[in-house]
Structure 1
Amino acid sequence: MRKKTVRRKPSVRYTKKKTTFFYGKLLRFSIVFLSIAFLFLALYHYRSGLAYYFSFKTDKVLSEKAESKRLSDIRNHQVLNSIEGKSVGIDVSEYQGDIKWSYVDTLENQFPIHFVLIRATVGNDRLDRSFEKNWLGAKKNKMIRGAYHYYRPNENSLEQAALFIKTVHLKKGDMPPVLDIEKLPKNQSIERLKIGLKRWLEKIEAHYKVRPIIYTGEKYYDDFLKEEFSEYLFWIANYNFYREKIESDWLFWQFTERGSVPGIKGNVDVNIFNGDLQQLQFITVE
């Protein structure tokens, strides 16, 4: 009797192992390649800021603290190099200490400062301790100046407006008043907050005969103010690394809190106006 031959199926273990090894190697190579490509693209994109930073570090008279601060400002320099003629300004309060206004002229020793927004009042009972000196100093330094009120959601809005009116006396060439709203209420609803904000804005507009500007963060703006306060112009704060341009519907963009200005010790907020100097002058009080 003929013996039956049993055929074995060909083994695929080696083939599978070889294929898995190949794809694993290809995946690692792809990740490395993409990482290097991303790094080169980032270096190219931030070439202006990086060049500024490394040239800055060669200055031996600067302190280690200043050098480390500049590393985080690479993006800020990148933004300033792409503003295409738009006006640059700062905003200050008592937290900047004693400002030497005669020295306040440029940002990062390169970009002219055209305007300054100055905190005047807080809530219904507090004056900024440096407002009067800053208000006069900015005027003497021939800067376009504006005053803002820090709004406390849980305090009477009309009392807050009255304090601002009592404190701030606008003159020809000053910017419209600014309402700074950053906090959510603790003891009232969002709807009640909006009513209070509108009362403040209406009282201020009736007194100064000019429509106020609203300052807030981008998320706060999108979530609570964008639709119901659409008739107002906005000054928006956004420090995110990925954002490098001002939105078309923003009047001002506060893009960093880590600016360096002669005459001011420490950091200062920096803002971009969505227009040139002539357009900025156009929105001032007549």
Structure 2
Amino acid sequence: MRHLTKVLLGLMLILAVACSRTPPRGETAGGARYVGGSVPQLGDSHPHEWRNGHPYNHHVHGIDISRWQGDINWAQVRSSGVSFAFIKATEGGDHSDPSFQRYWREAAAARMPRGAYHYYYFCRTGREQAAWFIRNVPRERGSLPPVLDLEWTHSKTCPRRPPAAEVKREANIFLDIVGRHYGQRPIIYTTVDFYRDNRLGDMRAEFWLRSVADHPSVTYPGQRWAFWQYTGTGIVPGIQGDVDINAFAGSSTDWARWLSARLTR
């Protein structure tokens, strides 16, 4: 009996050690494996089963943030494998994110490549919104290109859904004005429904595509992209709560080449 007790205790000890092991490099506590990437510390509070191309196969990942992320430990974010940050600056023609200026300074201090994005409203002209963005976002050497966030708004003050021709006309006015000011044509961020409703594929811009249920090649067939927002429930050391995580389309070498061509000068 004593021998059996020792054996049972030994088995229980082995099981306890196995269950409490620290996940190896390349695996999260939940078991989601990062294949080919360099972001072992990033995770997802609601992981998705990817069928047509896994975002973790990409080597370069970054975040997009707004006031809702609260206080951020930028040094920890950077050391976790995050390579860039897009920060909400403005929306419409009269609203600015109250955390933008602080995040802008803090990210720069942590030597994090960062850019600003504008959330577009359909009750203001493209010219008005471009002026508002320029008024609030510094033109700083080394910044990422500006971003125009085009998606249907759910606003009681601006419920308009203009026709595709108007959407693209006014968006192009914004892109032209902002592009001239910062010396880099803005990236377009968009969602699946907005992209389809307005046939955005013929616009002259790099794309940042939201696709949290499948690979962009499936949800945006034939569309080239630079950035892919693959989750809104990401886990990033240094940030409390969920955060959007994005992948860059190319390798680490491609990323360095992209930066050399697309940073503000």
The TM-score, its normalising length taken from structure 2, stands at 0.73
Cα offset, 1:55, TM superposition: 5.6
| Alignment equivalent of 2:85, drawn from 116, 120, 137 | 116
Would you say 1:197 and 2:145 are equivalent positions? no
Would you say 1:219 and 2:193 are equivalent positions? yes
What does the per-residue CA deviation read over 1:240-282, in whole Å, with 9 as the maximum and x for residues that have no partner? 0x43879871110000011111221100000011122313422
Matches within 5 A, 1:38-117: 52-54=28-30, 72-73=46-47, 75=49, 79-83=54-58, 85=59, 87-106=60-79, 112-117=81-86
Matches within 5 A, 1:230-249: 231-240=204-213, 242-243=214-215, 249=224
Which of structure 1's runs of 4+ aligned residues deviate more than 4 A? 53-56, 244-248
Contact 1:79 1:244 in 2 (8 A): no
- Provide the residue aligned with 2:249 in structure 1: 274
CA distance in 2, matches of 1:219, 1:188: 14
CA distance in 1, matches of 2:112, 2:150: 25
**1:164 aligned counterpart, secondary structure:** helix
**1:232 aligned counterpart, secondary structure:** coil
**1:201 aligned counterpart, secondary structure:** helix
The TM-score, its normalising length taken from structure 1, stands at 0.68
Which residue identity does 1:285 align to in structure 2? T
Would you say 1:265 and 2:265 are equivalent positions? no
Which residue identity does 1:279 align to in structure 2? R
Cα offset, 1:70, TM superposition: 5.1
Structure whose residues are more often helix by fraction: 1
**1:202 aligned counterpart, secondary structure:** helix
Contact 2:45 2:234 in 1 (8 A): no
1:103–1:210 Cα change, 3 Å: same
Higher gyration radius (CA): 1
1:228–1:70 Cα change, 3 Å: closer
What does the per-residue CA deviation read over 1:84-140, in whole Å, with 9 as the maximum and x for residues that have no partner? x3x11000001111222232125xx5xx11100000001000010100000011101
Which residue identity does 2:264 align to in structure 1? V
CA distance in 1, matches of 2:67, 2:180: 28
- Provide the residue aligned with 1:143 in structure 2: 112
120-129 vs 179-188, which moves further = 179-188
**2:108 aligned counterpart, secondary structure:** helix
Q: State the structure with bigger RCO (CA 8 A, min sep 6), 1 or 2.
A: 2
Aligned positions, number: 217
Structure 1 regions of 5+ residues with no counterpart? 1-47, 57-68
**2:231 aligned counterpart, secondary structure:** strand
Which residue identity does 2:241 align to in structure 1? G
CA distance in 2, matches of 1:201, 1:103: 34
120-129 vs 171-180, which moves further = 171-180
1:138–1:200 Cα change, 3 Å: same
Which residue identity does 2:211 align to in structure 1? N
CA distance in 1, matches of 2:140, 2:202: 30
